[in-house]
């Protein structure tokens, strides 16, 4: 089916009113958010004053009126045989890339009017001179949520692709879409991939190894060597406990663990338990003492190496740095080097996640699950999806429910849906002391495991990796960790986002990364002096790590030792436990 390209036989005023109606709806939404901020106890007097000052908004309104006039004039003057030239650029927006949007003046106008209105409200939220940074960030975040939700691509009546597919399939696509929706309603979530295509231990997390230790908090995996000789100094990997470790061990061609082992690094990895009600009492100190530090003790004993290398990813990096600060307060420096992947140590600018954290919400957590209980994995998953709604929500609403398509098999999205719980006391402590009060950056302000901690006493060399488009750990905030740690730091910036930037296999050698010797305290100054390197950052890191991994020795013949014997093959039971 081809959508008609005949000139529209409708009045411009109708469509201008439609655009104005959307603008009014957006303003009404912003007003409701002000009331929500008030109820949350956030000072929004500067926001109200800025809204009352109509000059910036009046200027924007004048601009958008002129843009709508140009849009309409271009539409009604367009002739069927003339090349199509959009008034509003949208080439990079996948939502409107299909030819059907350009094939009909009605749908063409709809998408361009939407993009104008969306840009207008986004700019309006940006220009308001709001003194309260948290209030402004939350307003900007909520406006983005509303703007994304209001896209004409999200609705059957305003999506020409839905119409085309329904006609071409004689309604079968609508039936499939309804069935997809019913299946997801039964699951209580949007299934983003063909979940039958993957299984942990069958085609995910298959790097050979064995569990050699376990307690209530974690299992410790030792991976089998793949080279005749290995570096004498092993590596302990501490993944985030907010999700499952096998993001670092997907299919073999995408596995960070597999890469490290193949390079002659004896690799150990913490597999966090997926907490159930019995673990609902665990706190931050439990994850440090019985998690990171206990794992280090086992690695030291098994490898006969006093100072292994250690790597922490995301909140695993925050836990690892905290654990090393605890060890330093006890007069110990148990590692040779520290690698941090997309990790926050200074939470001053903590990205969109901070929009979910305020005094009222944290106090509620503390008085409920903070006393014992679980922060459900489903809730965590919903929060992370909301950070990228076009990619992780609306994309699937359109493709699955409107178009009736089956989702493709994609290992990373399978992992993304395999959620984990968090113990309530851990979550409440983490939210208050990191996101809300940013206490870790102040020497001695926090006590962990009975001792005051100071990141400045962590004096081993550190490799800090961040990603340029990270919406969870903004790279400039990750950069601030350089001034908190006490040793020499190497900072590397990768392309792409929080996960795709990290999981960038050396064999595929895609994307790029930036390196630089500048140790300035200002992230932008570092980037200005850095040089871009094509391909994966993994080889750069492995070269840095091997320089701190000692001489080559014969590979161990078996996992563990007399005390720490093999309990079960990798990936172990803990990673398979559902939320």
Give the pairing type, strands 267-272 and 309-313: unpaired
> How many whole angstroms separate alpha carbon 221 and alpha carbon 270?
6
**Continuous H helices in 309-441:** 315-329, 359-367, 377-387, 389, 395-396, 411-417, 424-430
Place of tokens 């020409």: 160
Residues 6+ apart with CB under 8 A from 425: 280, 281, 282, 283, 284, 369, 370, 371, 372
**Continuous H helices in 169-228:** 172-187
> How many whole angstroms separate alpha carbon 118 and alpha carbon 191?
28
Report the candidate in 453, 436, 518, 451 with the shortest Cα–Cα distance to residue 482. Answer: 518
Q: How far is CA 126 from CA 80, 116, 186, 305, 432, in A?
A: 39, 15, 39, 53, 27
- Of the CA atoms within 13 Å of residue 295, those in its CB half-sphere come to 36
- CB atoms closer than 10 angstroms to residue 31: 11
Q: Is 9 exposed, middle or buried (0-12, 13-18, 19+ CB in 10 A)?
A: exposed
| 336 touches 547 (CB < 8 A) | no
Residues 6+ apart with CB under 8 A from 543: none
**Residues with catalytic annotation?**
314
Residues 6+ apart with CB under 8 A from 391: none
Indicate the SS3 state at residue 572. Answer: coil
> How many whole angstroms separate alpha carbon 257 and alpha carbon 253?
10
Report the candidate in 27, 102, 108 with the shortest Cα–Cα distance to residue 71. Answer: 108
Give the pairing type, strands 267-272 and 218-223: antiparallel
- Of the CA atoms within 13 Å of residue 362, those in its CB half-sphere come to 18
- CB atoms closer than 10 angstroms to residue 564: 17
| 314 touches 341 (CB < 8 A) | yes
Residues 6+ apart with CB under 8 A from 147: 26, 118, 121, 122
> How many whole angstroms separate alpha carbon 256 and alpha carbon 210?
17
Q: Is 194 exposed, middle or buried (0-12, 13-18, 19+ CB in 10 A)?
A: middle
Report the candidate in 289, 280, 324, 265 with the shortest Cα–Cα distance to residue 449. Answer: 289
| 8 touches 75 (CB < 8 A) | yes
The strand pairing partners of 312, in sequence order, are 238, 340
């Amino acid at each position: 089916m081809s959508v008609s390209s005949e000139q529209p036989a409708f009045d411009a005023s109708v469509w201008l009113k439609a655009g104005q109606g959307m603008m009014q709806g957006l303003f009404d939404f912003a007003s409701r958010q002000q009331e929500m901020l008030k109820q949350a106890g956030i000072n929004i007097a500067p926001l109200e004053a800025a809204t009352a000052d109509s000059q910036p908004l009046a200027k924007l309104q004048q601009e958008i009126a002129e843009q709508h006039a140009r849009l309409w004039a271009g539409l009604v003057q367009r002739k069927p045989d003339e090349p199509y030239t959009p008034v509003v650029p949208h080439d990079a927006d996948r939502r409107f890339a299909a030819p059907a949007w350009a094939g009909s003046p009605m749908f063409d106008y709809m998408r361009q009017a939407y993009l104008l209105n969306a840009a207008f409200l986004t700019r309006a939220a940006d220009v308001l001179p709001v003194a309260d940074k948290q209030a402004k960030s939350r307003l900007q975040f909520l406006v983005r949520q509303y703007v994304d939700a209001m896209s004409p691509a999200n609705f059957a009546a305003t999506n020409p692709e839905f119409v085309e597919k329904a006609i071409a399939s004689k309604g079968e696509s609508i039936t499939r879409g309804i069935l997809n929706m019913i299946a997801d309603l039964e699951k209580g979530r949007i299934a983003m991939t063909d979940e039958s295509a993957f299984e942990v231990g069958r085609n995910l997390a298959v790097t050979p190894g064995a569990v050699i230790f376990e307690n209530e908090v974690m299992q410790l995996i030792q991976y089998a060597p793949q080279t005749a000789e290995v570096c004498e100094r092993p590596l302990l990997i501490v993944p985030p406990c907010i999700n499952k470790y096998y993001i670092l061990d997907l299919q073999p061609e995408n596995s960070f663990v597999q890469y490290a082992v193949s390079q002659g690094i004896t690799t150990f990895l913490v597999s966090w338990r997926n907490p159930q009600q019995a673990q609902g009492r665990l706190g931050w100190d439990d994850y440090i003492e019985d998690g990171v530090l206990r794992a280090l003790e086992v690695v030291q004993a098994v490898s006969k190496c006093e100072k292994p290398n250690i790597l922490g990813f995301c909140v695993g990096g925050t836990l690892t740095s905290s654990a090393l600060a605890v060890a330093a307060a006890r007069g110990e420096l148990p590692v040779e080097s520290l690698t941090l992947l997309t990790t926050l140590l200074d939470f001053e600018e903590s990205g969109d996640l901070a929009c979910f954290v305020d005094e009222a919400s944290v106090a509620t957590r503390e008085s409920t699950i903070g006393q014992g209980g679980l922060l459900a994995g489903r809730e965590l998953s919903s929060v992370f999806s909301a950070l990228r709604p076009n990619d992780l929500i609306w994309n699937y609403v359109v493709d699955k429910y409107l178009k009736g398509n089956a989702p493709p098999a994609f290992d990373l999205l399978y992992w993304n849906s395999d959620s984990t719980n968090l113990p309530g006391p851990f979550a409440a402590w983490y939210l208050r002391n990191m996101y809300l009060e940013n206490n870790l950056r102040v020497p001695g302000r926090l006590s962990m495991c009975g001792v005051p901690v100071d990141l400045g006493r962590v004096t081993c060399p550190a490799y800090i990796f961040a990603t340029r488009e990270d919406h969870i750990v903004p790279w400039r905030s990750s950069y601030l960790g350089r001034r908190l740690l006490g040793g020499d730091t190497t900072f590397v910036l990768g392309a792409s986002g929080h996960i795709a930037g990290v999981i960038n296999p050396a064999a595929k050698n895609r994307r790029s990364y930036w390196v630089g010797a500048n140790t300035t305290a200002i992230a932008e100054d570092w980037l200005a002096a850095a040089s871009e390197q094509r391909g994966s950052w993994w080889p750069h890191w492995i070269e840095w790590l091997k320089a701190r991994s000692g001489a080559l020795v014969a590979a161990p013949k078996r996992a563990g030792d007399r005390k720490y014997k093999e309990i079960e093959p990798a990936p172990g039971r803990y990673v398979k436990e559902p939320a």
